[in-house]
Amino acid sequence: MNREYHRWYSPALGRDMELLVFGHAGAKVLVFPTRVARFHEYEDLRIVETLRPRIESGEMQLFCVDSIDEEAFYNASVPPADRVLRHLAYEQYILGEVMPFMDAKNNDPVTIAHGCSMGAFHAANIAFRHPLLFDKLIAFSGRYDPTLSVEHFRDLLDGHRDENVFSNSPVNYVPTLDGWRLDALRAMEIVLVIGKEDPFLENNHHLSELLWDKGVAHTLHEWDERAHRGYYWRRMAPQYVHPPQRRESRSAEHRAEAPMSSPGLVDAAFGEAPLTDAGRHEAARHDAGQHDAGQHDAGQHDAGQHAAVGPGDLAEAV
């Protein structure tokens, strides 16, 4: 199985960012890690291994990105408004650097957003905000309202509310969708998976109801128990992480004209402003050197340790 490590300086974030690529062809799967986890988490949890047959056959290619949650939603040292702005800068990194890099490496027209726990929030939020860019969403054990407080999970914005908070909380903005964005969302394949004892089960039901109210077809799968750790995600992945049932892509034909969000430029609908696509392929010029399997940053655990006790294997990963 092809495995590549990539690192470059991100203008959007003002620091180096890293990612891993698995596979050589097929539908492009953008994978977000769990809360404050790293780009190698999906591999550490052995989820990549469960998808090996599809990856090696060229059915799909994974792009596992890093998290900056410690600088954004989980950064208690800065005001809540600044946390959301940092998150929006992260979105710009994904849209303006990672996705052009993905397109340059792989011309398959299908793009999928995927994540577990807090990664499911990131996947759903970017797919719902930019539905012309994605053909499928696969979200495991997600929360879809960063302001929600349940069990020991706190409101990530400490009571702060503004337009940027609203436009990055799917359960708040989905009811407002209309026009081209709603049409595009209705054409997306959406898969939500949640444990019956997960503290965010009700939040998933709420999102599902809102989607049905807007005429957005999707599936919501409930697993026994809490189902909020790597043990379960390794079993979910072979069932749900695959290209959409229809291989014809909407995203490729519209990608060039799709509006993108820009931190600091807010309109009444989404905190988004139309930007040109001129910089989308700039990231392709970055170094594309291979990286050895053991050469992650010093904080990485080996696969067995991380899968057993790492943040992605705990209910507290949200």
Per-residue pLDDT of the chain (318 residues; tens, 9 = 90+): 999 999 999 999 999 999 999 999 999 999 999 998 999 999 999 999 999 999 999 999 999 999 999 999 999 999 999 999 999 999 999 999 999 999 999 999 999 999 999 999 999 999 999 999 999 999 999 999 999 999 888 989 888 899 999 999 999 999 999 999 999 999 999 999 999 999 999 999 999 999 999 999 999 999 999 999 999 999 999 999 999 986 455 555 555 444 444 333 333 345 443 333 333 333 333 333 333 333 333 333 333 333 333 334 443 454
CATH 2.40.110.10 fits 3-317, yes or no: no
Ordered by start, the domain boundaries in the chain are 3-317
The alpha carbon of residue 208 and the mean position of all alpha carbons in its chain are separated, in whole angstroms, by: 18
Contacts by 278-283 with C-beta closer than 8 Å and gap 24+? 279/96, 279/100, 280/96, 280/99, 280/100, 280/103, 280/255, 281/100, 281/103, 281/104, 282/96, 282/97, 282/100, 283/8, 283/96, 283/97, 283/98, 283/100, 283/101, 283/104
pTM: 0.82
